[in-house]
Structure 1
Amino acid sequence: MAERAIRASYAGVAYQVNITDGQHQWASDVDTQAGGGDVGPSPHALLLSSLGACTSITVAMYAQRKEMPLEAIDVDIRIEHEQLGRKPKIQIAREITLRGALSADQRARLLEIANACPIHKVLRGEISIASTLT
C-alpha cells in the first residue's frame, strides 16, 4: 500500500513543525523546557504513536478476521533507553492489554500478530534514508 508523502514545515515559531499528508494536518513540537511551545507531541512521541497505532490496527484486523472475542486493545509504549552517537541504539517497551473473553492460545497468537505489524518490522529492520537538498 502506497502511503501519501509527508511534509513537515518549520516556519520559525519556537520549534513547532506543521505536518501534513495532503489530507490530514497535525503538529510536532518540543516541551517548553527544551525551548518549544509544547503545541504537539515530540518527534519521539510521534514515532512511538506510529508503533502503537499500527499494533492496535493489525491486532484488531486479525482478531476480527478470525472472529475472536476481542473487545479493546491498549498499547502503552515508552523509550526505556536511548543511546545516541556513532552506533545509536534505542530500547522501546511496549505493553499490550487485550480485553475480551480470549483464550490463552488466542492471546498468544495476538502477541505474535502484534510483533508482525508493519511498523514493528520497519523499526526492527535496517533503515536507509536518502536525503537531498532542493
Structure 2
Amino acid sequence: MPNIIATAEAENTGEAYTTTLQTNRHMLIADEPFDLGGQDLGPAPGDFLCMALASCMVITLRMYLTRKGWEISWIKAKVNLVKSTDNAAGNNIFYCSVSFGEKLSTEQREKLCKIAKACPLHRLLNKPSDIITLLD
C-alpha cells in the first residue's frame, strides 16, 4: 500500500456547485463565485490550492523559527495562481510572497526564503504529478 500523506472527500448533492468537503475531522465548503454560476458559499477549488500552499509555507517557517528561537510575531504568505494559458511560458505559475512582523537581516531573509521553498507542498507542486481517476 502506498504511503498516503493526505486525503479528502467531496460531495455535491445538486445544489449548483456548492460542495461539502471532508478531511479527517474537518468539514469545509467549496463553491464557485456568482459570476461562474455558483453561490459563493466557500472558496473555489483553485483558492483551496493557493490556501494549502500558503499555509504550508507559513507553518514550515513557524516550525523553523521556533526551533531556532527567533522571535517573529507574525508570518503572512500570499499565493496567486496564474493558469498556463495566461502566460508565455506555458506553465502554471504560483506567485508566492512572504512577509514577517519584524525587520530581518539579509542573511535571515535568504535563509527563510530557502525554508519557505522547502515546505512539503512547495516541493510537491514543483514536481510532475500523475493523477489517476477511477469510477466506482
* TM-score calculated relative to the size of structure 2: 0.88
What is the alpha-carbon distance in structure 1 between the residues aligned to residue 97 and residue 24 of structure 2?
Answer: 32
User: One-letter code of the match for 2:23?
Assistant: D
Structure 1 gaps, min length 5: none
Give distance in 1, aligned partners of 2:18 and 2:125. Answer: 25
Other structure's SS at 1:95 match = strand
Distance 1:31 1:101 in 2: 37
Report the CA distance between 1:131 and its aligned residue: 1.1
Q: Which residue of 1 aligns with 2:17?
A: 15
Q: How far has the Cα of 1:102 moved from its partner? A: 3.2
* Correspondences of 1:49-128 after superposition (within 5 Å): 49-83=51-85, 89-128=91-130
| Structure 2 alignment gaps of length 5 or more | none
Which of 30, 33, 40 pairs up with 1:31?
33
* Alpha carbons of structure 1 residues 14 and 76: separation in structure 2 relative to 1, 3 Å: same
Larger strand proportion of the pair: 1
Aligned equivalents of 2:63, 2:49: Cα separation in 1? 21
Aligned length: 132
| Residue identity in the other structure for 1:24 | H
Partner residue, 1:133: 135
Normalised to the residue count of structure 1, the TM-score between the two structures is 0.89
After superposition, the Cα gap between the structure-2 partners of 1:32 and 1:101, relative to the gap in structure 1 and judged at 3 Å, is closer
* C-alpha displacement of 1:78: 1.1
Shift of 1:89: 2.4
1:80-111 deviation line (CA, Å, top 9, x unaligned): 44328xxx621121111012253221121011
Q: How many Å separate the matches in 1 of 2:66 and 2:40?
A: 37
- Give runs of ≥4 in structure 1 deviating > 3 Å: 1-4
* Identity across the alignment (%): 27
